[in-house]
Structure 1
């Protein structure tokens, strides 16, 4: 009997250790930011979009208007147990270009420089244009006049 109690105690301790081991934080890395040594090779006023892309790689994303900038983004996300994933670090390198495509500025940002911006996809429906077949059918039921159909009018 004492031997079974010893095994049960060992199993409980083993399960507790394994349960605590499952709660270790998990880290995921996303994106790419060039190293400082590679960024120091880029010369403001000399390098162009093509030379930047060939020397440090293609960007994560580019500026919306006329390719006004290259953005290199790297994030580190921590997941701990069943809690919501949390961004623990984010680095952004923005390389701006003038209208001729020559580097005009190089900036580096992190989480300490501002708030995390949550991107939401929002679609705005214009009023009155969402007329499906079923909606048109139901709307026209109120306009139905039986007398005009039977010719009694």
Structure 2
């Protein structure tokens, strides 16, 4: 095969490989949730707008107040994924709408990803007690729990 024919035969595979490599490095963006923007929030009047009016304007919230029933949360997030890597959250907006006892809007708060902080969750896991025993101790400890019926293959059909 001559050098000219070799170059001609490699053009298509090299082109396809270049296109695949470029598309693999292109970030894929996903959007989750909904948070009203400043123009939409301008429609709300503190002290006048009711909880029902907010839900009519913006729809059901992403979450109600987990610790307090007087707050509605609207959350929107943007994730970018590049190639085989895990998605990265690049933007988050949380709108917290607080209401008074008469269900009138009391406060509007806006939080972004920069306002966030890491929350350590308390893991409540039951200890199985096996971690303190070695392999030999586990094997020797199981001998007392065997019964003859299991060893001999007896059926328990009465």
Asked whether the two chains share a fold, i.e. TM above 0.5, the reply is yes
Alpha-carbon separation, structure 2, partners of 1:122 and 1:102: 37
Root-mean-square deviation over aligned CA pairs: 2.9
What SS does the corresponding residue of 2:93 show, helix, strand or coil?
Answer: strand
- 1:51 aligns to 2:53 (yes or no): yes
Aligned length: 131
Q: Spell out the pairing of 1:18-33 with structure 2 (5 A cutoff).
A: 18-33=20-35
1:22/1:46 Cα in 2 relative to 1: closer, same or farther (>3 Å)? Answer: same
Instruction: For residues 98-148 of structure 1, give each alpha carbon's deviation from its aligned partner in whole angstroms, at most 9, with x where no partner exists.
Output: 222221100111012233x47869444499xxxxxxxxxx99x68xxxxxx
Unaligned runs of 5+ in 1: 128-137, 143-153
- Structure 2: distance between partners of 1:25 and 1:82: 11
Structure 1 residues 55 and 21: alpha-carbon distance in aligned structure 2, compared to 1, 3 A threshold: closer
The secondary structure found in structure 1 opposite 2:92 is: strand
**Structure 2 matches for 1:1-153, cutoff 5 A?**
1-2=1-2, 3-14=4-15, 15-115=17-117, 117=118, 122-125=123-126
Q: Structure 1 residues 52, 18: CA separation in 2 closer, same or farther (over 3 Å shift)?
A: same
Is the contact between residue 72 and residue 97 of structure 2 (CA under 8 Å) also seen in structure 1? yes
Q: TM-score, normalised by structure 1?
A: 0.72
Structure 2: segments with no counterpart, 5+ residues? 129-140, 146-158
Q: TM-score, normalised by structure 2?
A: 0.70
Q: How far 1:92 sits from its partner (Å)?
A: 0.6
